[in-house]
Structure 1
Amino acid sequence: MMRNRGRPVAALVLSLALVWPILTPPAAQAAPPPPPLAATPPMGFNNWNAFGCDVNETLIKETADVLVSSGLKDAGYQYVNIDDCWSLRERGPDGRLVPDPAKFPSGIEGVADYVHSKGLKLGIYGDAGTKTCAGYPGSLGHEELDAQTWADWGVDYLKYDNCNNQSDGSQEDYVRRYTAMRQALDRTGRTIVYSICEWGTSQPWTWAKGIGHLWRTTGDISDNWASLRSIIRQNAPLAPYAGPGHWNDPDMLEIGNGGMTATEYRTHMSMWAMMAAPLIIGTDLRTASAETMAILGNRELIAIDQDRLGVQGAVVSDENGLMVLDKPLAGGDRAIALYNSTDTLATVGVATGETGLRRAGAYRLTDVWTGATTQVRSTISAGVPAHGTVVYRVRPLRDPATVAPAVAVGAGLGTVVPGPTSDTTPPTTGPASADGATPATAASEPAGDDTPATAGPEPAGGGALTTTVTNRGVGAIRDLSVAAEVPAGWTAAPATPARRARLATDATLETTWQIGVPADTPAGRYPIDVTASYRWGPRQRAATTSSQIIAVVVTAPEDGRRHLSTISPVTSANATGPVEADQSNGGPLENDGNLITIAGQVHTRGLGTTTGSELRYYLGGRCSRLVTDVGIDDEAAGGPATFTVYADDTAAAASGPVAAGEAPKTLTADLTGAAWLRLVAESAATGTHADWATPVLTCGGVPDDSPVLPESRTLFSFETGTEGFTIANPGDGGTVAQSPLFHTEGANGLKVSTPVAGNWFGRPLSTPLDLSGATMLRFDLKAGDVGTVGEIAVQVGEGFSWCQGGLWTWTNPHSSKTVTERFDQLSCPAGVTLDRSDVRAVWVFLNTGGEVLIDNVRAE
């Protein structure tokens, strides 16, 4: 112990007294506030995307088990959420919601206890309307009782939907309905995450902070690329509205459900993480593949999504289908995503100065999917596959000499047409070497250029490939050589140099290749691998970088008369949004149009474009005629517009100016001998909604009275009345009557008055239908003032077994569309086979408590 050497005790006491207030915090100083609930985007599971209404206690418990055993719980997934259809159809005598005892014999409370015992949390589903989307009791007017019921059961998360909402459509009503449940949840005293699911209808990002912890920004996701791309485009610009405790929700994950490629599922996970979106798994984890589990369990990507700063990645650039997102991370790193929504390989890049990265002489990039580490000087770029996303974790780098440079390998390839190669050139397979060891194919006009080929009915085979190799690292790379690996039987030869002794920082080697394709090559998608080999750094280490481009081989249509909307164009350019098949253009998003309608005439087949559009189809000299109606769609004023059909470069038919409201004009184009078909719609101001209605292409010299493919068989057209349509559940209400107000076949359709909770409309058949050759059922509808859900079911066999798909296709108020259900999407009771030759009844489901017009129930 140190002694006090001569210092007075009083002085020591005084000095302690002086420092005491510094050593002891004042009693009045407030403790830091706790983090908000849902401080990071919620992670977990929901059954709807994979199971729909087929939810039960066993599924939920087994999913909880898998979350733990697979390591997904440790990765951050904690909520196990039950969606719609968990309750009985009626409330109990005390007014409370009642779990279906067949599905949940332990009740929701028993399931919650099991889930909690696993260290996980339980979610439930409710609806801010009188009925849920599947027709079960909603919580509108029952908020206090339902919130307390869920709290008593031990629920930790509420997804609150928007069906049958009785709304006047105003934002004020949406705020009122969702605030009522927020206040009811608060009064329970239980901590419950509140997920507002009103589909982005009232722009909840502008009002729901402080009410919900997350809010849907879009309509329902589907397990296909068009849906994913559309949702990314809608949600990405909303970064300013997200943060800890309040998140933009672009809907649940479809990863693993089979409708997309692995590349598209990685984009799904990547963009959700970059957008700080909730990660709610929507696949059957009990049977998920190793690839699916690896995508869902990517710890580096989850860390980006769950970063404690809670910032949604901002859109830095968005042009021609290529998007760059920049997301700041705790600790100073940034996540940079390079997203390619186009249908071919593309080089996506951004200058570091355009991001939030602080200035440095070099930057270290870690690819969160591969783990590869590279360095760049001032530009982050990569060859990104079609529908793919590259995500880097980026930080400044002091010594770039020890890290491999980032080398971006890109490629572009026009249309590939099979055909004869040069007689003087022997066929060669495998990679083309940098010195041109693989001989070149015959020179030809490369199909897929902006100018269509005009050489005649049999253009030379192959196409033109352009490769680019760009050094983005600090310091030159040396001994660069490029190789193109083509499918067996194909040829590839560089027409320009494919080798460079030295490539400086930000310099590019561009090489043009001639690709030869055998004449008997089937239409399809074929990979071409482009590899750059080089040396880098003071020690001249060897390295390679590769990208893959998909060659799309097109062939002429088969013999027959076909709806042109069933044939994919080789190229498609449109001024506003995508060209839509069998619907009008609608707007900037996929599948946002109505049934094509020109001067009141409704068409179920066609192409919805805007003026400033061009579509190109390869005919190969095998087709003879195109017949189509053209006009301005009723959904939007505009025009006049001019429609022109080109056979190669010759105008084969032209409409002259067509005004809005004018009856459709019929064009007949002679395509004899043409290699290419082009459809062009033009006007003084681009963007007018221009329709190609019911275009039919004739190929192979078939007679003009041949049936148009795919063949359609009308089951009910309502020309003679209601055709016996009735109600499946009389107690639920609804009426039917013949009506001329909407028809897509004949002069009449069916007007259906729907109950709020919905009903099935159709009829049992006196004679069974044989639909053996059909693959789908369809019907057309036009919604009234409140919109509607549409679905199709059948009954089969002597027992009239009910087979239903569980798809709920929504149509907005005053909008129209075709509702489709494939037979392979229909589920029958256990032990029942869906015998298409023995269909005993056909039913369509409609709801929301308004009038709906339908027509042309058919099999195709």
Structure 2
Amino acid sequence: MIRKIFILLFLATGFLTARAQEVSISKGWKFTVGDSAQWASPTYNDQHWQAANLNDNWERQGHPNYDGFGWYRTKVVIPSSLKDKSYLKDSLRLNLGTVDDNDEVYLNGKLVAKYGGYGGTIKDGHYGGRSYTIAANNPAILWDKENVLAVRIFDTGGDGGLVTSGYGSTFNITMADVMDHVAVNTEADFVYGDNNSLSKSVKLHTTNAYQYSGTLAFKVTDPENGTVLYEKTNPANFTSGKPFTYSFSIARLAKRSYTISYTFTDTKSGKSIVQTETTPYILTPYPTAKVKINGADVFGARPGHPFLYLIPATGKRPLLYKVAGLPECLKVDAATGVISGSVAQKGNYPVTFTVSNSLGAKTKQFTISIGDNIGLTPALGWNSWNAWGLSVNDEKVRISAKAMIDKLSAHGWAYINIDDGWEAENRAADGKIVTNSKFPDMKGLADFVHGLGLRIGIYSSPGPRTCGGFLGSWQHEDQDAQTYADWGIDYLKYDWCSYSDIAPKPDLDGLKKPYQVMQASLGKTNRDIMYSLCQYGWGNVWEWGADVNGNSWRTTGDIQDTWQSMSTIGFNQGPAAPHAQPGHFNDPDMLVVGKVGWGPSLHNTRLTFDEQYTHISLWSLLASPLLIGCDMGHLDAFTLSLLTNDEVLAIDQDALGKGANQYIKKDDYQVWVKELKDGGKAIGLFNTSDKYQTISLDKTDPAIAGYTKFRDAWQQKYIVVTGNALTAKVAPHGVLLVRVEK
């Protein structure tokens, strides 16, 4: 990962807006890399600086692999009418989008704000949204005149700059408002009732001592046609420590997403805030009591190495597991379905799984492939970073493992991966890496995870330090690889991070070198350790990742839980897609569904429910590792439905191992097509616009010509396709995921 400690200064879920006068500062910025104190001066001539695109980081604006200082400047007239028309007149607010990673803000040459309001130094790194408040009488403000706003940025690694990044990330100047510290807390889960009904409670709260008294208007709208389905206004009063709670129930909703808006208006000030969210809808059918065997059709291991595989199956418990044709030295636990042991001889071993319960039995043909190639299908698992960041600990990992075995392993999920933050400050006297106090017994933790039938992963960097500032593996690669093997580690995420200090401007051979070194070290151990290269797609890693024996490789910078981030990453994977193959896969980063937050505080993902369907569908089409990044101890019903759809997961786990290609790209929709091993195809019809779109593929189109069966993968049912085309009305930012068969 490109390590960012996510400090989100905007509301985590939905859209929150306050009606206030503002001056936009989204255009006219210039920037340069480097550092000079004179660049803060209002008289400095920046005409030779390049125009800044605030929609992108500076790496993609001509400064690849650049870490360190950069400056942004713009000019803006701040009218006194802002103050005159404001209910509160004492403070000015500067909203500066998202800073990657830390900043100092200068107004007309005077330092007015820094570090996101946090302490330390500019090099400490506080990635996140920026909203600064300064006194209206600050002499740095030139009312009704041109002001020069300069922002000094320090990037600790990976992407850098001043950017617009998703919802709530704005570039404007406003007066501080009576609603600044008011929020509608929508973090509670929706509760599902009979007849597709939904209920929920939200809270109006504030940190102000001001006594708010007004109304809360609640409205449900159909986004397809703008029809208002429900509307109600209630009195609402609250102050600091005394929130107002509003509970509602909506009956008989169709299987689609609707928009809910909450508008609070304060009677005294006349000010309002509006927050919106969308309603969830579950497409994945509930598992039946009858047995169903899920998961991939193949699993690879190296000869002589420990073998561990849990047969994924659903159905009424208890289940009884049998395997016919197991190679010698492997055994299956009939009660748990865990296959363990070791196979000495290379070869493909066809076996037959039989799983039975009181209602009957099912069988499945499966291949155990013993050879040099492992990770024959993309990894399905959990990674701690997007939920817990550096606050991960032994307890959180155990909770996640228990949740996976209870709720997800029956669908093929298998990896529990610890990200950054487990390392001690110093190595042992003999140079071995050791854990910090959050992980008192790493081998004991690995044994616990293995005892459940799951596999465990860990994190390091080829540099002296990880992205979070912990010990990396620089010059200790053999020791660390052996230590991981001794602990029982099954997966290594190897993150470039501070290796830029070793190789500041690497050529292609320089990009490969640290990953070749660690791969050689892993090869000396007697254990299969999946190898995940994390260097953000530099040097077109998809073209050579397999050559250094990477099982997967990051193709991009860090993902965030916004449509802009997820869609930009996902829909730009076309160049990498042809390089996916069994044992070697493109990795567009971890999933951002469920409760995320980068630790220790969490929030509901800011992706709408339609966007989450797009997220999982696109990553599955791309044959990407699916690594859950949420709080596994709190899997709400919708998130669980996303992660347990076996027909969608089967597209990701298809043994052919091909990534989808971008077949059609239009301004408002895209079509992606993935070839499958059985001769069928998986096709995603994606609506990339903000409005409902009708998307069609003619039956004579080469993508579907000759195919007669069309199956909706999310709903797990065949579609009746009449006329001359496959046609679907797709929700904004939504998807129809279809599997076609002959």
TM-score (norm. length: structure 2): 0.48
TM-score (norm. length: structure 1): 0.41
By relative contact order (CA 8 Å, sep 6+), the higher-ranking structure is 2
